Amino acid sequence: MEKRATFSSTTIGLVFVAPMLLLIFVFFYWPSGQALYWAFTLEQPWGGGNQWVGLQNFQQLLSDPVYWNSITRSLVFGVASTAIAMGVALVLALFTDRELRFHRAYRSIFVWPYAIAAPALGLAFRFILAPEAGLLSVLNSIWPNIWNPALDGKDAMIAIVIAFSWKYIGYNFIFFLSALASIPRSLIEAAAMDGAGPARRVVDIQLPLLTPTLFFLLVINITESFQDSFGIVDIMTQGGPARATELMVYKIYFDGFKGLDYSGAAAQSIILMGLVVLLTIVQFRFIERRVHYK
Amino acid sequence: MVERTPIFDAICQVILLIGLIVALLPFAIVIIAATHDIRTVNIVPMPLMPGHDLMANLHEAWVRADLASKLLNSILFAVSVAAGKVILSAMAAFSIVYFRFPGRSLLFWAIFITLMLPLEVRIVPTYAVAANALAPFQAILDVTGITWLIRTVSGFQVSLQWGLLNSYPGLVLPLVATATGTFLYRQFFLTIPDELAEAAKMDGSGPVRFFFDMLLPLSRPNMIALFTIMFVWAWNQYLWPLLVTTDPKFGIAVTQLKLLIPSEFGLPDWNVAMAGTLIIMAPPLIVVILMQRWFVRGLISTEK
């Protein structure tokens, strides 16, 4: 996607982009490079130089079932929460966009969950979903021990997926609704006049015009599921029970700062970075082709 | 509404109502739990009639988590991050979309990739850089031999040092250094008709003039939306402040939540925990509620 009308002054162009470049060089590329260096060396946590060890850090990681576990769990978490958050938000946005009664109230309120800090809603959901108090504990008083995120890994995973998707429904809803609202009314009316029902209009008009938003949200949701989940996991489960909710970022934090295994954490970072970059390229190649910017 | 579809409308309303309950329930639970005393809050199921201890619980949480100074820090921190993002990403996106210079697509990718690798992913080395933000430049000088050159010529040992741990720049700068905003602006700039830039050029406007007089006014709804989003996003940051601000003087509100989790073997005082949650989640919520009408309308007002 290129602009036809552009400016030719290279200097001014570079001046505009320079502050951002400087920041991302110092706080993004340098640290990423350093992670690469650390991943192939063995760093003493209290200083004393690095020792080149080649692929040893990676071999150690990849032969570690605990690490594979954290990859699987991150993917399960990311896919489940993105699917729920985007699916529910899309349905709510499509219905709110029909401008039935109270649509103004819906439009305001569905956005609220997005305002809440992940650790704060983590704490709220920890109470709501607690096995011995709160709301879901009712289940336990009917069927004892059916729900216990503190002991059952599956329950804990469900709990963090619920908490995370609850927040991101609000986020996705904003973007879907404003994209829907920017679709010209005349298009919808013309289609209705030609006999297209609501479902037909969604499939043939609204969804195609939503593709840029869908693409943007897909990228953001998946990265946020790696990133914003940290607060939820740290407050709700701390990776437990028995590592059942130890997502990749939580493991990096835990190994790097609690275990002081910088090299191991750096190698994990590199693998996560690779995974994520791969995802971006796939998305860009296969999705941008079908995105309409106008 | 385009046509009359009473049955389908009723189904829509029911689904929207369920969505509404799901969206509001957690807020309701937090608020109600914050009004109970410790005995009532632990009854299963928790009584949904509010109790009378709201003020006492809020006060207890306020004191326990030292929220007076922490909230102030949070506001300062979130406003700085949001302002930095809004300004720097508009500039960067302008450069990427409207200029054609060698290596431009490389720049786009260089900035875009930062979107995919959030701070949390590279947290360990970023923490090391924050200990001395000038370390990259020092290393470049060392490797290229400039350090050695300066020392031989002037006898002066170059050692650049700018520690960011436990400081406001340390909290703010690494969070500004991502592409979220740039990407949003790029998407928006791409939807602006080419004719606009052509007309501006024909009228003799240079790029700087075009940026300030046309692009920025056009992107005002986007800027306000971005500011709101970034304020809330920065307020919600957890891992980075947790690591960088070991000195309580620079601590922010959200990291204090951990102090409020009832310990497994202590008192299950969920009422105080929920009161603290209420205080800490309130500011971004108020921002979204107050800003929302404006920015949704600004964002939407094309056809209706």
Q: pLDDT tens-digit profile of A263-292?
A: 788 888 888 878 777 777 776 666 655 554
The identity of residue A99, as a single letter, is E
Give the residue-averaged pLDDT of B230-244.
86
Give the residue-averaged pLDDT of B215-240.
85
Minimum-distance CB partner of B270 among A122, A127, A266: A127
Tokens 């102090």 — which residue? B259
Evaluate if residue A82 carries a pLDDT over 90: yes
Q: pLDDT tens-digit profile of B141-158?
A: 777 777 777 777 777 776
Interchain pair B111, A20: CB under 8 A:
yes
Q: In this predicted structure, what is the pLDDT of residue A283?
A: 67
Q: pLDDT tens-digit profile of B45-87?
A: 777 788 788 888 888 888 888 888 889 999 999 999 999 988 9
CATH of the domain at A138: 1.10.3720.10
Helix (H, G, I), strand (E, B) or coil at A43: strand
Q: pLDDT tens-digit profile of B170-183?
A: 888 888 887 777 87
Cβ–Cβ under 8 Å, residues A74 and A248: yes
Structure tokens at A111: 């956005």
| Burial annotation B6-32 (CB, 10 A radius, 16+ → b, else e) | eebbeebbeebeebbebbeebbebbeb
Cβ–Cβ under 8 Å, residues B102 and A266: no
Strands (E), chain B: none
pTM score = 0.81
Q: State the Rg of chain A over Cα.
A: 23
Evaluate if residue B38 carries a pLDDT over 60: yes
B302: closest CA among B231, B184, B218?
B218
The dihedral built from the CA positions of residue B271, B274, B276 and B279, taken in this order, carries a sign that is negative
Q: pLDDT tens-digit profile of A219-245?
A: 778 878 887 788 888 888 887 787 878
- Please, what is the average pLDDT of chain B? 81
Instruction: For A118, name the nearest residue in chain B, comparing CA atoms only.
Output: B236
Distances (CA, A) of A139 to A121, A131, A136, A160, B157: 21, 9, 6, 18, 69
Q: pLDDT tens-digit profile of B82-106?
A: 999 889 989 988 888 888 877 778 8
Distances (CA, A) of B30 to B46, B48, B276: 11, 11, 10
Please name the residues between 125 and 154 in chain B that touch chain A, using a CB distance below 8 Å.
125-129, 133, 135-136
With respect to residue A260, please indicate whether it lies within any of the assigned structural domains. Answer: yes
CATH of the domain at B136: 1.10.3720.10
With respect to residue A84, please indicate whether it lies within any of the assigned structural domains. Answer: yes
Q: In this predicted structure, what is the pLDDT of residue B304?
A: 24
Evaluate if residue B297 carries a pLDDT over 70: no
B1, B4, B16, B227: best mutation site toward chain A, by most A Cβ within 10 Å?
A: B16
Q: pLDDT tens-digit profile of A206-216?
A: 888 888 788 77
Interchain pair B121, A252: CB under 8 A:
yes
B249: closest CA among B111, B78, B76?
B76
Tokens 């949200």 — which residue? A217
Burial class for B289, CB neighbours closer than 10 Å (0-12, 13-18, 19+):
middle
Domain count, chain B: 1
Angstrom distance (rounded) from CA A258 to CA B33? 33
With respect to residue A60, please indicate whether it lies within any of the assigned structural domains. Answer: no
Please name the residues between 72 and 131 in chain B that touch chain A, using a CB distance below 8 Å.
88-89, 91-92, 94-102, 104, 107, 110-129
User: Residue B261 sits in which domain range?
Assistant: 6-300
With respect to residue A180, please indicate whether it lies within any of the assigned structural domains. Answer: yes
Structure tokens at A78: 């990311």
Q: pLDDT tens-digit profile of A97-144?
A: 887 888 888 888 888 888 888 888 888 898 888 877 777 777 777 777
Evaluate if residue B303 carries a pLDDT over 60: no
Minimum-distance CB partner of A128 among B29, B238, B258: B29
Angstrom distance (rounded) from CA A208 to CA A210? 5
CB pairs under 8 A between A and B: 358
Angstrom distance (rounded) from CA A90 to CA A169? 9
With respect to residue A232, please indicate whether it lies within any of the assigned structural domains. Answer: yes
Interchain pair B123, A13: CB under 8 A:
no
SS (H, E, C) B201-244: HHCCCCHHHHHHHHHHHHCHHHHHHHHHHHHHHHHCCCHHHHHH
Tokens 């009723």 — which residue? B10
With respect to residue B45, please indicate whether it lies within any of the assigned structural domains. Answer: yes
With respect to residue B1, please indicate whether it lies within any of the assigned structural domains. Answer: no
Burial class for A248, CB neighbours closer than 10 Å (0-12, 13-18, 19+):
buried
* Count of CB atoms situated within 10 Å of the CB of B139: 15
Evaluate if residue A4 carries a pLDDT over 90: no
Angstrom distance (rounded) from CA A238 to CA B271? 22
Domain count, chain A: 1
Instruction: Say if B40 is an interface residue toward chain A (CB within 8 Å).
Output: no
Evaluate if residue A85 carries a pLDDT over 90: yes
Q: What percent of the residues of chain B are helix, what percent strand, and what percent coil, each to the nearest 5? A: 75, 0, 25
With respect to residue B221, please indicate whether it lies within any of the assigned structural domains. Answer: yes
